[in-house]
Amino acid sequence: MTVTLSWGALFLYCCVVLSVSGSKILFVSFTPSPSHQKPFQEIWRTLTAKGHEMHVITPNPLVNHTYANLIQYDISDVYAWAAKMNQLKKKDIKYSLQKPNFLHTFLKEFAVNRGWHAVHEYTFQLPEVKRLLDTQSSFDAVIVEWLYPTAAALAGYYRAPLIGICSLGAPTNGLDEIGNILNPVVTPDQNVPIGRSDFSFRDRLLSALYSVFIRLYYHWRIVPTEDRTVRKYLGDDIPYLGDITRNISLLLLNRNQISHRLMSVVPGIVEFGGLKYDKIVQELEPGLKHFLDNSKNGVVYFSMGAAIKQLAFLSPQQIDVFRTVLGELPYNVVWKWDNETMDEKPDNVFISSWINQTAVLGKKPLSVKFRAQL
């Protein structure tokens, strides 16, 4: 009897194991920003390593990889296009970066929306996206960046379950789609320029008005416009974009309740803040290594990211404020700057146009007192 049960269990085990196969997943992110792409890259790299067949539209493809089940659609051309557009749309970018006030909170959304629309319109025209569409593939799931609705149309195009993902928290409309309605008095949208707690009456009023405004603007302007956009490239045989986004199955957020505003979440939201990246030995540039080795009190790391060109978008007065404040700190400062020179650079500041952030933050022994990054 025991032998019979053992052979029966082995037979069932083999049937289950042999019938299991990886899923075929499309991962889509158009945002031309390395800091946004880093957590995404780790997610789809891990899914690939787990045996899933990954098709990835990304401006930051893996190089020199050995995965046979990874098909990448390289849209890195969007970086050069974005740099050119940053010069043409300098007024919009400067406006979105200026010190916020009550009215600016609403008006900047028009500038931000123009930018997102332009990125998606351009990317859908790229040869690599057309190459994907020409393959007539089918997918078990489509994972898209959940900051703007346009790319979600691909889930409707392929008739596949939709999964959203954010490299930070999700905006109000993105949370609405999965049924996670925010109370604006308790949990303001992440784009509302107020603190994390102890909200004043003005703060609560601003948050409440913004929550009404952004929902009206999203449903009456953004979604209809983007629906017309995707139909130019995907055809009319897809559901309305607003219906596609409301059919989201899962939302993944790179946030952690400990370091973000308090927010209740529905079961369809999974927060993965604190993601562990693949540990690769990172080498420091000799000059930077010497600077860090001599930072006995620790360092402050200051960066505005890859997208913001400080000399182009900051006034001389604003740059002087940063330079003065950082120069007065009792710590050494690593400042990601636009080039290798700076007038009147403080002695405690190290500048470079490219800094290996992972290597700096991971250097031992070293105390990073503060990290400021846009």
Predicted confidence (pLDDT) per residue in 96-120, tens digit: 556 667 777 888 888 889 889 999 9
pLDDT digits (tens, 9 = 90+) for 293-348: 888 888 888 888 766 777 777 788 888 998 999 998 888 899 888 888 888 889 89
Looking only at the bridges linking them, the beta strands covering 269-271 and 368-373 are unpaired
Kindly indicate the confidence band of residue 279, based on its pLDDT and cuts at 50, 70 and 90: low
The distance from CA 205 to its chain's CA centroid, rounded to whole angstroms, is 28
**H/E element holding 16?**
helix 2-19
Contacts of residue 261, defined as CB under 8 A and 6 or more positions apart, other chains included, come to: 169, 187, 188, 190, 196
pLDDT given for residue 66 in this prediction: 85
pLDDT at 155 over 50: yes
271, 256 Cβ separation under 8 angstroms: yes
Q: Do 179 and 268 form a contact (C-beta atoms < 8 A)?
A: yes
In the predicted model, is pLDDT for residue 13 greater than 50? no
**345: Cβ contacts below 8 Å, ≥ 6 apart:** 323, 351
Taking residues 173-179, report their average pLDDT: 94
Residue tagged 């787990």 (tokens): 50
- Among 164, 207, 160, which Cα is nearest to 183's? 207
Q: Which residues contact 262 (CB under 8 A, 6 or more apart)?
A: 186, 187, 197
Cα→Cα distances 207→78, 192, 198, 253, 314, Å: 33, 7, 13, 21, 28
pLDDT in tens, 215-241: 999 999 999 999 999 999 999 999 999
Cβ neighbors of 175 (< 8 A, separation 6 or more) are: 181, 182, 251, 269
Nearest 5 degrees, angle CA 77-CA 138-CA 49?
A: 70
pLDDT at 169: 86
**Stretch 139-145: mean pLDDT, rounded?**
95
**Ordered structural domains, the chain, with CATH:** 21-271 (3.40.50), 286-373 (3.40.50.2000)
- How many angstroms separate the CA atoms of 29 and 74, rounded? 11
